[in-house]
Structure 1
Amino acid sequence: MIVDTQQTHERRTYLDHVLEHWHEDQDAEALVQGAQRLTRAQARRRLFRLGHALRGQGLVPGDGVGLFLANRVDSVLVQLAVHLIGCRVVFLPPEPGPGELAALVEQSKARAVVTDPLFARRAAAAAGRSAHAPVLLSLGPCEEQCADLLALAAECPPVRPEGVPAAGADESVTVLYTGGTLGRPKLASHSHRLYDALVDLTRSTSEDSGPGAFLTAHPAPAPARAPGSVPAPGPVTAPDRHRVLAATLLTHGSGHLTAIQALVTGSVLVVLPEFEPGSALEVLREERITAVMFVPPMLYALLDHPRCTPGALPALRRVVVGGAASSPARLQQAVAVLGPVLSQGYGQSEALGITAFGAEELASEAARRPELWRSCGRAISDTEIEIRGEDGTEPLPAKRVGEVCVRGKSVMLGYYEDPERTAEALHGGWLRTGDMGYLDDEGHLYLVDRAKDIIVTGSTSDNVYSRVLEDFLLTLPGVRNAAALGVPDEEYGEAVQVFLATADGADVDPRAVGEAVRAELGELYTPRRTVLLDRLPTTKVGKVDKKALRAAWTEAGPDK
């Protein structure tokens, strides 16, 4: 019998909490993806083997390892294995073109790139353009010239690698891609402080510490089942053990956050390979998912599915919505269909946790104050928020719109290998988020736009906040999703243009849309043009892709 060796650490990390759970009740499920179901003991042993296999490629503590991965169980374990051996996780997202992907690998100084076989050709091209000549590894066999990491791991011992020094408090351990111009990505660098804060918050029992942002805290009462409905067949699990669905990309901040929250609390993590509303509903029901995080377009698509009805998901206790602005009308629809399980969270790659709105508070307070549906909650524990003016230094009073600035443990160290843009974003420990919003008298944060998405138009060059307009558009009959853009205009510099995804069979009149906007929000917000689409394009992480909409408009021209 092989006994797992334990290491002595100067400081405990989130991995120690994960492994504590995986040493208990070892036959219980830990990781699930379709027919692949790993117990805690199996997950632990596979993690250790992957750690040894990565070490066998010459990696040493502090080295960067790029992860260009799809949603699968082994993707979760590889990310853990990189941290297990003291290396730096560099998440490589699917959106960038080949030039930007190559620049990301180069700038992050990745010594190795682990790719999904589906992405192997792109990964090989990016690695080949890097002066660092990273080792290319694949999660399974592929046609490119790269080693099969899973095959290498199968030959390694299932014991924890020894001799890993503890990372320093200010040492980069995770790098998240935040976008940027071609050849100059923005890489948000985080230390173990982020994970320490996450562990503290997920283990907290205080509602005031922001459980709405954390999927496994304080489950709400189960929504009532529809008359005559019966529980769906599914896995047997302890009644107090959460089953968390990772529906967004694991290499994105939202998916990473979901996975870590689940694992540090001993929950079962179920991985959804790709989001499609019908299959997502099936997994939510059959796996008896108790908690999930969606970006807004995912939630909207789920609500629009004909099988998403009250009582359809009797196990569901928590739905966190984050990653982009949410429509108050859609949020209220979600509560009507799913029950009082809805939470909101706000964060970004530079600060994964900023605010939270717990399901219990949202359900009780919004009935008294309907405006709270537009809020993304209050600052989580150990996080401060200020709304600042144009110079980024002077705090503004309550209800004044300005830039959201935050300080706390979840804030990044800076942009990796980019002191110039770090200096622009961080001032005295405060992060300038680039989001515009305001605080009410009770500290609830309301976001109105990204600074770069504000539309400046009209004879007085006033601000049109795209979120305000989009929220209203989503209240109109037949509108399933909406996006507002500023497009070039000879007279006013920019003009408002909206794109609407309409429901099947809906008769939406663009002229009536404009009249409704004028009546509710005024002339300034009235769109110059309204485009009707079957659906809005989305990025790989599920957000509405305004870049694609803007590019399509530019290519077609304003009169086409």
Structure 2
Amino acid sequence: MQETSGTRTYLEQILEHWHQDDDAEALVQGELRLTRRQARQRLFSLGHALRRQGLVPGDGVGLFLANRVDSVLVQLAVHLIGCRVVFLPPEPGPGELAALVEQSNARVVVTDPVFAARAADAAGRSAHAPVLLSVGPCEQRCTDLLAVADECPVTRPEGVPAPAADEAVTVLYTGGTLGRPKLAAHSHRLYDVLTDGVETDGRNGPSTGFFPAMDPRKDRVLVSTLLTHASGHLTSLQALVTGCALVVLPEFEAGAALEVLREERISATMFVPPMLYALLDHPQCEPGVLPALRRIVVGGAASSPSRLQQVVEIFGPVISQGYGQSEALGIAAFDAEDFAVQVARRPELWRSCGRAISDTRIEIRGEDGTAVLPAGQVGEVCVRGKTAMLGYYEDPQRTAEAFHGDWLRTGDLGYLDAEGYLYLVDRAKDIIVTGSTSDNVYSRVLEDFLLTLPGVRNAAALGVPDEEYGEAVQIFLATAAGVDVDPDAVGAAVTAELGDLYTPRKTVLLDQLPMTKVGKVDKKALRAAWTHTAVDTP
């Protein structure tokens, strides 16, 4: 991804910073602290090391990586030599992981040592027989990429052509059925959004609105979500294109996160809602504990308005909502300053995820995907813009199903108000259809209310088979230690607030809800484990 005519790529943006003030910190992970000079030289040597594996521009490189500084640099190095990044997150099972490697045409798979056995299994099943590399020594029979890089030049690799307009440069896993993963493919247009509006002095943040104006001399960003997922990928790049130091959190634990936020003087970070809730519930989370913090972006899943208000009570007006998905990494955003002003004027905006980011259009459409619905009416969220994917990689059938013309169908249900603010009510697949008239119960509406009840730390709602109504509402509550939550009282409160349709047929009380690797509530696990083991409520 070299510089093209009249356009600075995101890599050029990063390197412009890394060629200035050589001794300023660029990347941090615990005791590992790389200056800009060290980061630049390590990036270049990794690019040469990857080339020594026979890679040429356009080749796919699977990245099965944990949250480490070297993971950030390896991803940049793949783009540096003109190859395609294929993110391999840790949640797929062996069969689907192998199918992902095969379908993505990865010529090389770079693995973290902790994932090496799974990576070797996946690579071994692929007909393409990709080369397996590890980021450091491991027990599998594979080449240590870092050792190769130590022997390589620290000058920039040359001879890299600019990517074509419709060339897939990054592929993200979005889930799917066994043997047929969904791989959202993005062109360099996605990264143009990161650099649009960033002034040459590097002080202004990207036009996505996820982060505020950033000053590389003092602002520091923490990435705590997975680097191989959209949230971690964008968080890290938004820090680097503005010249800010990026601090990498290897694994999320609320106490450790608080310590890093405080000791590293973090000014901006991003959390998915369960991470945010765990942080808020930590006994050391109190006003004044993080004086440097100016922004917490929350996204990746639906957020509870009551929890967002709790953030403001503890940290002040730092909350910024972001909405996107692997198919469209940026759709809507709510900047913290604007958020604080607008919710004072319109409290209902606590439930909004903001307005369309720059270059993105949002429409709410009916079931056929073509009829545009008026403000206030619930339908499918459809988007168009640079952050939308090219399509599903080498999957024309599902690509055709995902688009109407050049409008992406997100699969999310929501509505726009008269001022263009977007409100999400559910994933289409998470709607619970129940009652004598087969009405819709929106799980997010129910979950948001449950989180306002005393003693409830997290909540999930899903539909279970019901002979009379087709589906019945079942809820799962993670309760605070030492607090007795009465299922009957919860059911009565739901009925009083939301009506009979939302009344839970069953309630399960848990110490904590199961989570996916990306920090979302794992509803598949809940459905499998608890459908038949619940406490009945009237």
| TM-score > 0.5 by shorter chain | yes
Identify which of 504, 528, 538 aligns with 2:481: 504
Residue 246 (structure 2) aligns with = 269
Residue 3 (structure 1) aligns with = none
Residue 175 (structure 2) aligns with = 179
Residue 103 (structure 2) aligns with = 107
**Do residues 536 (structure 1) and 513 (structure 2) align?**
yes
**Do residues 123 (structure 1) and 96 (structure 2) align?**
no
Identify which of 467, 490, 504 aligns with 1:513: 490
Q: Which amino acid aligns with 2:77?
A: A
**Do residues 411 (structure 1) and 388 (structure 2) align?**
yes
Residue 317 (structure 1) aligns with = 294
Cα separation, partners in 2 of 1:530 and 1:180, compared to 1, 3 Å = same
Identify which of 315, 333, 340 aligns with 2:317: 340
Residue 435 (structure 2) aligns with = 458
CA deviation string 1:97-151 (max 9, x = no partner) = 0000000000000000000000000000000000000000000000101000000
Q: Which amino acid aligns with 1:218?
A: A
Output the CA distance in 1 between the equivalents of 2:200 and 2:49. 35
Contact 2:193–2:207, Cα closer than 8 Å, also in 1: no
Residue 81 (structure 1) aligns with = 77
**Cα displacement (A) at 1:8:** 6.6
**Do residues 148 (structure 1) and 125 (structure 2) align?**
no
Residue 62 (structure 1) aligns with = 58
Runs of 4+ in 1 over 4 A off after TM superposition: 6-11, 201-205, 208-212, 554-560
**Cα displacement (A) at 1:241:** 3.0
**Cα displacement (A) at 1:557:** 7.9
Identify which of 212, 218, 224 aligns with 2:213: 218
**Cα displacement (A) at 1:240:** 4.4
Q: Superposition pairs for residues 112-511 of structure 1, below 5 Å?
A: 112-201=108-197, 203=199, 213-215=209-211, 217-218=212-213, 240-511=217-488
CA deviation string 1:321-345 (max 9, x = no partner) = 0000000000000000011111000
CA deviation string 1:81-102 (max 9, x = no partner) = 0000000000001101000000
TM, length-normalised to structure 2: 0.97
Q: Secondary structure at the match of 1:434?
A: strand
Contact 2:321–2:334, Cα closer than 8 Å, also in 1: yes
**Do residues 24 (structure 1) and 1 (structure 2) align?**
no
**Cα displacement (A) at 1:449:** 0.1
Q: Secondary structure at the match of 2:167?
A: coil
Output the CA distance in 2 between the equivalents of 1:251 and 1:537. 21
Q: Which moved more, 1:127-136 or 1:542-551?
A: 542-551
Output the CA distance in 1 between the equivalents of 2:232 and 2:479. 28
Output the CA distance in 1 between the equivalents of 2:198 and 2:55. 31
Output the CA distance in 2 between the equivalents of 1:265 and 1:204. 9
Contact 1:209–1:380, Cα closer than 8 Å, also in 2: no
CA deviation string 1:139-176 (max 9, x = no partner) = 00001010000000000000000001110111000000
CA deviation string 1:430-459 (max 9, x = no partner) = 000000000000000000000000000011
CA deviation string 1:499-518 (max 9, x = no partner) = 00001111100000000000
**Cα displacement (A) at 1:252:** 0.4
Q: Which amino acid aligns with 1:15?
A: L
**Cα displacement (A) at 1:199:** 1.2
Contact 1:212–1:359, Cα closer than 8 Å, also in 2: no
Contact 1:213–1:320, Cα closer than 8 Å, also in 2: no
**Cα displacement (A) at 1:554:** 4.2
Q: Which moved more, 1:159-168 or 1:193-202?
A: 193-202
Contact 1:388–1:402, Cα closer than 8 Å, also in 2: yes
Contact 2:373–2:379, Cα closer than 8 Å, also in 1: yes
Q: Which amino acid aligns with 2:232?
A: G
Q: Secondary structure at the match of 2:528?
A: helix
**Cα displacement (A) at 1:213:** 3.8
Output the CA distance in 2 between the equivalents of 1:204 and 1:347. 27
Q: Which amino acid aligns with 2:213?
A: H
Output the CA distance in 2 between the equivalents of 1:493 and 1:210. 47
Output the CA distance in 1 between the equivalents of 2:3 and 2:170. 22
Contact 2:91–2:516, Cα closer than 8 Å, also in 1: yes
Output the CA distance in 1 between the equivalents of 2:206 and 2:35. 30
Q: Secondary structure at the match of 1:249?
A: coil
Unaligned runs of 5+ in 1: 1-5, 220-237
**Cα displacement (A) at 1:556:** 4.8
Residue 41 (structure 2) aligns with = 45
When the two chains are superposed, the root-mean-square deviation of aligned CA atoms in Å is 1.9
Output the CA distance in 1 between the equivalents of 2:280 and 2:513. 16
Unaligned runs of 5+ in 2: none
Q: Secondary structure at the match of 2:382?
A: strand
Output the CA distance in 2 between the equivalents of 1:408 and 1:433. 13
Output the CA distance in 2 between the equivalents of 1:240 and 1:336. 29
**Cα displacement (A) at 1:218:** 3.2
Output the CA distance in 2 between the equivalents of 1:316 and 1:481. 24
Q: Which amino acid aligns with 2:108?
A: A
Contact 2:506–2:536, Cα closer than 8 Å, also in 1: no
**Cα displacement (A) at 1:214:** 2.4
Q: Which amino acid aligns with 1:325?
A: A
Output the CA distance in 2 between the equivalents of 1:71 and 1:343. 23
CA deviation string 1:196-227 (max 9, x = no partner) = 1121155599xx99967422x237xxxxxxxx
